[in-house]
């Protein structure tokens, strides 16, 4: 299984089997060293994914805008169908980043956002962590407590509480 939440579920289906948590979904970056950029030298925050209801984009943008983060940073949206956000002055949109340049792209950000209402794992979070980029994610992401730990290498938000999410 990729994570501990998955293990718990699989255990309900076949509780007499040995279950191994791999902490990956099997798509790591190539085995080259990724240069580290000091966090104080990084700028902006990033979301990578599709614009679909479960990705909770409107909530994410509202939290970002109402927090102190938007005062000196932009929120970079990578994916398609983000046209409705193009007029926000704190949002920048990239339609595509190639798989080969993803590590070099990710390492430049202060953090990755993933505020999904439902996320079985969160491969993009794993990729960000491999690039030494913390993540700010919802408590509905399967990677929570497997590779991402609240206030250790990221922040976990209760997406049912917008005020707490803005403050956190």
pLDDT tens per residue across span 75-92: 999 999 999 999 999 999
Instruction: Please tell me the predicted confidence (pLDDT) of residue 42.
Output: 95
Q: Which residues of 37-55 are buried (b: 16+ CB within 10 A; e: fewer)?
A: eeeeebebbbbbbebeeeb
Model confidence at 31, in pLDDT bands (50, 70, 90)? low
Residue 49 near residue 79 (C-beta atoms within 8 A): yes
As a whole-number percent, the residues of the chain with pLDDT over 90 amount to 67
Rounded-to-integer distance, Cα 126 and Cα 143, Å: 8
Model confidence at 150, in pLDDT bands (50, 70, 90)? very high
**What distance, in Å, lies between the first and last C-alpha atoms of the chain?**
30
- The H-or-E segment that residue 165 falls in is helix 162-167
């Amino acid at each position: 299984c990729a994570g501990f939440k998955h293990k718990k579920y699989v255990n309900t289906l076949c509780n007499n089997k040995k279950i191994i948590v791999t902490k990956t979904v099997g798509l790591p970056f190539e085995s080259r060293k990724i240069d580290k950029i000091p966090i104080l030298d990084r700028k902006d925050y990033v979301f990578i994914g599709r614009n679909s209801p479960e990705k909770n984009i409107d909530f994410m943008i509202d939290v970002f805008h109402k927090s102190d983060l938007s005062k000196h940073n932009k929120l970079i949206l990578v994916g398609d169908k983000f046209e409705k956000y193009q007029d926000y002055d704190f949002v920048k949109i990239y339609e595509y980043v190639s798989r080969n340049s993803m590590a070099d792209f990710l390492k430049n950000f202060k953090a990755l956002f993933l505020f999904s209402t439902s996320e079985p794992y969160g491969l993009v979070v794993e990729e960000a962590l491999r690039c030494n980029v913390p993540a700010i994610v919802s408590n509905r992401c399967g990677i929570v407590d497997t590779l991402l730990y609240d206030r250790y290498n990221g922040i976990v938000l209760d997406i049912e509480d917008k005020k707490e999410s803005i403050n956190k």
